[in-house]
Structure 1
Amino acid sequence: MIVSDTKWTPELSLGGARSKYEALAHAIREGVLTGQLQPGAQLPPVRDLAFRVGVTPGTVARAYRVLVDDRVLVAGVGRGTFVADRPAHIPPGLTEDIAQNMAPSLLADFHVEQISPGYLVSPRMPDMGQAALMARVLAEVAAQPSQLLMRYPSRTTDAGARAAFHAVLDLDAVGPASVEDIVLSHGGQNAVVMIMQTVLHGPAPAIIVDELSYNGFRSAAELCRAEVFSVPWDDEGPVVEVFAQLVRQHRVQLYCTAAEVCNPTTRATSPARRAQIAAIAQRHGVHVIDDDCYSRTQRVGPSYRALLPDLGWYVTSPSKSLTPSLRIGFAVAPQTCARALVRTATGHSFGVSQLVCHTYAHVMAAPELPGIIAAVTKRISQDVASAVQVLDGYDLAWAEGAPFVWLTLPSPWRAGAFVDAAKTYGIVLKSAEAFVQRDSRMVHAVRIAVNGEVGHAEFHNAMIQLRGLLDAPPARIAV
């Protein structure tokens, strides 16, 4: 290898089954371990190194991304890529003297995640005081009687968390619900899986998802061995005729959707369309999961649970409004189905631990919580407003309160090419491909998620970089 300022060039070994990006990542890692690349050294720009080595910029960007994820390199939007300023074998957050006294297996597991300013794949909640609140509450919970630390969970031990959630539940939107209709889960995704396991039956159950939708629905369906069919949308929501045809043709048992904020498009199903879909579901006995983990500042209409008292399920969690580290979710079951869902939850894990339940209940009762949530919402809105301002003129969709925006790409950009080009600037996005089924039509769009773990100025700068890509696509794309 040759190292001269940023004129570093690796020698790639492409033997065996190693891909080009893996070979490049290995070469860079070797350079760090042998001292040829010193802490703080800047690596060549993606395009420069790609030209020298004879690979594509996407290959270099992928290798850099792997090493950033492994904490060997650090990257900043507009600043470049650098060798991490601490020994590669010691995770950030540990001092060297502590690390030297830790067992290797423990050291491998201990790390503090570093999020680069350009990480815009999934929303990251800004810390507006909830971390300090959680720390204080955890200390209070730890001082509770020892039974809290020594017993399995049950419907009795989680009653406080269910009551705390019920106290803030919008019953006008969700429909009549008692504390007994609420079932706890280990996050919203876990609630979706448990509902599927409760209502799906037969050797080959079928479900419907929206054509562009949260990929967790499809993952949950795969776990339940269910076949998935997608319904396209028009300006008001799912196309009624297609939805009805799918229900009849495949004897669909369940429809999974997010009526208020579709992830990733941010669009809402109109109240009139919800009523039409609910009527079809009622006629054919189709259950509906309405995922409300992402919510708007102002609701558009009632949830499917309110429209379908016997078939509608409402799912949410504090992951997108407070913190994802508190692994708790809530499923509000139809009044006739709550006991069945409780049995499913008990079979899963006996329930959510008392520590988590008590922590949630204490957090919800904290006097500073409303101010914290308001500050989180304000910060998210600030970043979304920045994206809307900088990307003005392009086809952008957003919803007040949702921590992401949906960018439909102009010609000649394709989603994959745009994602790869953004990576060369240290910006990581999620392509539309992640939100559709494999055999669905091609959609050239990307989701830009708010990264609340970095400063607003850094997020704004990332938007400026994306604007530059949109305004001037590379020649190889434009031809």
Structure 2
Amino acid sequence: MNTIWLSSIENREGPKYKALAEAIRHAIRDKALIVGQKLPPVRDLAWDLKITPGTVARAYTLLTDEGTLEAAVGRGTFVAPAKAKTESVVAADHITDNVTHSDTAEERPDVVRLTSPQLPDVGQRALIQRLMGQVAANPRSGVMHYPNRTKFQPAREATLHWLQGTPLGAIDEQDIVLSHGGQNGVSLALQSILSVPTPVILVEELSYSGFRRAAALLRAEVIAVPMDAHGMNPEAIAAIAKSHDVQAICTSPEVHNPTGLFTPVERREEIVEVARAHDIQIIEDDCYRMGASRAPSYRMLAPERGWYVSSISKTLTPALRIGFVVAPKPSVPALRRSAEHGFFGLATPLADLAERLLADPQAAEYATKVNEVFGKYVQTCVNALGCYDLTWNEDVPFVWLKLPEGWRASAFCQAAESEKVQIRPAEDFAGREARAP
């Protein structure tokens, strides 16, 4: 069988089963697979692609449900004839999630989306609209000039006010660079750090997929570090650093995404010791922390190599794409260059809005209320699933469920989606070569 289309999944982001499904769709559109053609058996294709049979089975099931493939008992899976989609298939397409598009609650009120936090409106919408009106009527930075560092000083000062209480060590507004959300902040930090021809970045063995996306854009190798109940294993970091040119560690010690684990200060200090021994920078992603910090940040523990990234996406709104990076003082000039050379800085009206929003007392009150609502959501979830192996915290807007024996993640997600509940499997957070639990 002609399987030249298989190589295309290596270049696709997102869950492996969706990457495979899209590769098959693409092959059908390009006539590499024709109507009636039999696809490889699940185990054979899994072997060829070095992925699990469950991943292939989930991709086949997804394509069969939408009518792209058809399965014949005892004969195999075949490319289905083209036909008009049924109402149920259209609905299934409508709830498919990806990086750049997802249905809002207003568009699909019958779908429960648990793939990322859905922020409640506790009053922040009206505040943002009011402040937008003020900026439009009287834009302090004007609307006829390029952004510049001086014009952003009030926004940086407002950010400093917003971050008060976060244990960041010695800090002033000049250490801060505004970004287009937390993901852009991670990218800016990496752009400022990476310098060798073949840089290596370390992440937790299960980690926020944005770390890998940012690394891919910068052509950096990503190596997953084994974890235990307290986070990254320092000895494993040291072992990897001896054989690779590691330049950065990307980690979420306050709220590990996706397990919700917390890295205590003793473990952080061990990681700092290894980082100093091997001259590794540490990027801390703190975007999911809703409550008070429970330990000093890496920037406080290692002020010469600790970077801090956060945003308002989980506390007020993800729509504005307002984030911030706090660099180690020796690296502030490099961070500024990364932002200014990359996009000149935020649009001045957005910086003016950030200034007003982050300094407004109501914003902090609304962030607290958002956290309280999330806490109620989590309590409801725990009441329903508390008899299972569940990791949760009332200040964390997600839970981590270890499935009972007999369930596979792919089958569980598919069963949930059939009931119009969208959730994310562990494989979404694992590297392509890793085995997700």
- For residue 213 of structure 1, give the secondary structure of its aligned residue in structure 2: coil
For residues 172 and 24 of structure 1, the distance between their equivalents in structure 2, rounded to whole angstroms, comes to 51
- For residue 208 of structure 1, give the secondary structure of its aligned residue in structure 2: strand
Residue 295 (structure 1) aligns with? 289
- For residue 142 of structure 2, give the secondary structure of its aligned residue in structure 1: helix
Q: 1:147 to 1:440 in 2, by over 3 A?
A: closer
* Structure 2 residue 67 is the aligned partner of structure 1 residue 23: yes
Structure 1 unmatched ranges of 5 or more:
1-13, 33-42, 44-59, 71-90, 93-110, 444-479
Correspondent of 1:360 among 343, 354, 361: 354
Contact 2:66 2:92 in 1 (8 A): no
Residue 435 (structure 2) aligns with? 441
- For residue 330 of structure 2, give the secondary structure of its aligned residue in structure 1: coil
Contact 1:327 1:356 in 2 (8 A): no
What are the residue-to-residue correspondences of 1:47-446 with 2, within 5 Å? 64-68=91-95, 113-114=107-108, 116-145=110-139, 148-170=142-164, 173-443=167-437
Residue 103 (structure 1) aligns with? none
Q: 1:116 to 1:163 in 2, by over 3 A?
A: farther
For residues 273 and 288 of structure 1, the distance between their equivalents in structure 2, rounded to whole angstroms, comes to 14
- For residue 374 of structure 1, give the secondary structure of its aligned residue in structure 2: helix
Residue 99 (structure 1) aligns with? none
The TM-score, its normalising length taken from structure 1, stands at 0.71
Residue 55 (structure 1) aligns with? none
Contact 2:208 2:257 in 1 (8 A): yes
- For residue 395 of structure 2, give the secondary structure of its aligned residue in structure 1: coil
Contact 2:186 2:309 in 1 (8 A): yes
- For residue 152 of structure 1, give the secondary structure of its aligned residue in structure 2: coil
Q: CA deviation at 1:65?
A: 2.3
Q: Deviations over 1:425-454 (max 9, x none)?
A: 1111111001011111231xxxxxxxxxxx
Q: 1:267 to 1:336 in 2, by over 3 A?
A: same
For residues 22 and 172 of structure 1, the distance between their equivalents in structure 2, rounded to whole angstroms, comes to 48
Q: 1:27 to 1:427 in 2, by over 3 A?
A: farther
Residue 23 (structure 2) aligns with? none
Q: 1:200 to 1:116 in 2, by over 3 A?
A: farther
Amino acid at match of 2:94: L
Contact 2:312 2:318 in 1 (8 A): yes
Contact 1:394 1:407 in 2 (8 A): yes
Residue 88 (structure 1) aligns with? none
Contact 1:134 1:363 in 2 (8 A): yes
For residues 405 and 332 of structure 1, the distance between their equivalents in structure 2, rounded to whole angstroms, comes to 28
Q: CA deviation at 1:268?
A: 0.8
Of the structure 1 ranges 160-169 and 116-125, higher mean CA displacement relative to structure 2 is found in 116-125
Q: Deviations over 1:78-126 (max 9, x none)?
A: xxxxxxxxxxxxx99xxxxxxxxxxxxxxxxxx9754544211111111
Identical residues among aligned pairs (%): 40
Q: CA deviation at 1:348?
A: 0.9
Q: CA deviation at 1:147?
A: 5.8
For residues 331 and 145 of structure 1, the distance between their equivalents in structure 2, rounded to whole angstroms, comes to 24
Structure 2 unmatched ranges of 5 or more:
1-27, 36-62, 70-81, 98-102
Contact 2:247 2:279 in 1 (8 A): yes
- For residue 294 of structure 1, give the secondary structure of its aligned residue in structure 2: coil
- For residue 258 of structure 2, give the secondary structure of its aligned residue in structure 1: coil
Q: Deviations over 1:332-378 (max 9, x none)?
A: 00001101110110111000111111111112233432332222111
Q: CA deviation at 1:22?
A: 4.5
For residues 404 and 342 of structure 2, the distance between their equivalents in structure 1, rounded to whole angstroms, comes to 46
Q: CA deviation at 1:21?
A: 4.2
List, as ranges, runs of 4+ consecutive aligned residues in structure 1 with deviation greater than 3 Å. Answer: 14-29, 67-70, 111-117
For residues 429 and 364 of structure 2, the distance between their equivalents in structure 1, rounded to whole angstroms, comes to 33
- For residue 362 of structure 1, give the secondary structure of its aligned residue in structure 2: helix
Q: CA deviation at 1:27?
A: 4.9
Larger Rg: 1
For residues 66 and 310 of structure 1, the distance between their equivalents in structure 2, rounded to whole angstroms, comes to 48
For residues 362 and 323 of structure 2, the distance between their equivalents in structure 1, rounded to whole angstroms, comes to 22
Q: CA deviation at 1:324?
A: 0.5
Amino acid at match of 2:149: R
Q: 1:252 to 1:115 in 2, by over 3 A?
A: farther
Q: 1:20 to 1:391 in 2, by over 3 A?
A: closer
For residues 167 and 428 of structure 1, the distance between their equivalents in structure 2, rounded to whole angstroms, comes to 36
Contact 2:161 2:359 in 1 (8 A): no
Amino acid at match of 2:349: L
Q: Deviations over 1:394-415 (max 9, x none)?
A: 1111123221111111111111
Contact 1:184 1:330 in 2 (8 A): yes
The number of aligned residues is 363
Contact 2:176 2:325 in 1 (8 A): yes
Q: Deviations over 1:45-85 (max 9, x none)?
A: xxxxxxxxxxxxxxx6xx63213569xxxxxxxxxxxxxxx
Q: 1:375 to 1:147 in 2, by over 3 A?
A: closer
- For residue 400 of structure 1, give the secondary structure of its aligned residue in structure 2: coil
- For residue 325 of structure 2, give the secondary structure of its aligned residue in structure 1: strand
Contact 2:290 2:315 in 1 (8 A): no
